[in-house]
Amino acid sequence: MRVLIQRCLNSSVSVDNDIIGKIDSGVVLFVCFTEGDSSSEIDYMIDKIINLRIFDDENGIMNKSLIDVDGSILSISQFTLYADTRKGRRPSYINALNGNEASLLYDEFNNKIMDLNIHVETGKFGADMKVSLVNDGPVTIMLEKENNYEKKCS
């Protein structure tokens, strides 16, 4: 599982020129799954995301978490995070999980965060989305949780 996290001042996602998700201060998450990902990877990633100290404290030092600042999340499905660009000019997306399975994991991911009383807005899985954000810092961090399937194939 891979998640690209960007701290933001505000962000929104639209489909067909209609805004379907919008947050103020918090993070934008670009979320991608691969073969073998499960609830285990989701739970690990959620804990990492909500407790990652990437927000400034009163001294301007990144020492506060999303929970500490009562931040929101805009979650966007992003299969291209598993792009393989080692050969040729066209990325291969073979390592991204198929849409049906990825959609179920994406819903589980978002629902588990909401169950923690964190405000979550989402894009539309599989849609052509336009994401707008003001990156704060900028702070952009790639998170990855390798699963047992990936370890066997390495």
Cα–Cα distance for residue pair 135/52, rounded to 1 Å: 17
Q: Contact 84/90 with Cβ under 8 angstroms?
A: no
Q: Which residue among 78, 85, 109, 140 is the active-site one?
A: 78
79 is catalytic: yes
Cα–Cα distance for residue pair 122/23, rounded to 1 Å: 10
Q: Which two tokens stand for residue 36?
A: 């073998």
Q: Which residue among 30, 33, 55, 79 is the active-site one?
A: 79
140 is catalytic: no
80 is catalytic: yes
Q: Could you give the C-alpha distances from 52 to 5, 19, 22, 141, in angstroms and in order?
A: 10, 28, 22, 10
Question: Residue 56 forms beta bridges with which residues?
Answer: 62
Q: Which residues contact 51 (CB under 8 A, 6 or more apart)?
A: 65, 66, 67
Catalytic residues: 78-80
